[in-house]
Structure 1
Amino acid sequence: MRHRPPPHPAHTTEVCSRLAEAALARGLTVGCAESLTSGRVASALGAAPDAASWFRGGIVAYAREVKHGLLRVPAGPVVCAEAARMMADSAAALLGADITVAVTGVGGPTEQDGRPVGTVWFAVAGAGRTTVEERHFDGDPARVVEATVARAVDLLTARVVDPAR
Structure 2
Amino acid sequence: MTDHIERLSDLARERGLRVAVAESLTSGRLANTVGSGADASEWFAGGVVAYLTDVKERVLGLVPGTDPCSAACAEQLAIGARDLLDADLCVSTTGVGGPDPDGGHPPGTVYLGWATPDAVGHRRLALTGDPEEVLATTVEAAVRLLAFHAEGLRPAGPRRSPQQTA
Superposed pair shares fold, TM > 0.5? yes
Instruction: Please list every run of 5 or more consecutive structure 1 residues that lacks an aligned counterpart in the other structure.
Output: 1-10
Aligned to 1:117: 107
Identify the range of structure 1 (63-72 vs 115-124) with the bigger mean alpha-carbon deviation. 63-72
Give the aligned residue type for 2:27. S
Aligned to 2:13: 24
* 2:7 aligned counterpart, secondary structure: helix
Q: How does 1:3-18 map to 2 (within 5 A)?
A: 11=1, 13-18=2-7
TM-score w.r.t. the length of structure 2 is 0.88
Q: CA deviation at 1:127?
A: 3.9
TM-score w.r.t. the length of structure 1 is 0.89
Q: How does 1:35-54 map to 2 (within 5 A)?
A: 35-54=24-43
CA distance in 2, matches of 1:62, 1:86: 14
Identify the range of structure 1 (118-127 vs 138-147) with the bigger mean alpha-carbon deviation. 118-127
Residue-pair matches, total: 153
User: What CA deviation, in whole Å up to 9, does each residue of 1:89-138 have, x standing for no partner?
Assistant: 00011111110001100001221221110000111100401011111110
Aligned partner (choices 22, 33, 50) of residue 22 of structure 2: 33
CA distance in 2, matches of 1:64, 1:109: 20
CA distance in 2, matches of 1:89, 1:153: 17
Task: Name which one, 1 or 2, has greater alpha-carbon Rg.
Answer: 2
Q: How does 1:17-96 map to 2 (within 5 A)?
A: 17-76=6-65, 77-96=67-86
Give the aligned residue type for 1:106. V
User: What CA deviation, in whole Å up to 9, does each residue of 1:27-52 have, x standing for no partner?
Assistant: 11100001110101100111110000
Percent sequence identity over aligned pairs: 41
Give the aligned residue type for 1:60. V
CA RMSD of aligned residues (A): 1.2
Aligned partner (choices 133, 144, 163) of residue 154 of structure 1: 144
Aligned partner (choices 96, 99, 105) of residue 106 of structure 1: 96
Q: Which runs of 4+ in 1 moved over 6 A?
A: none
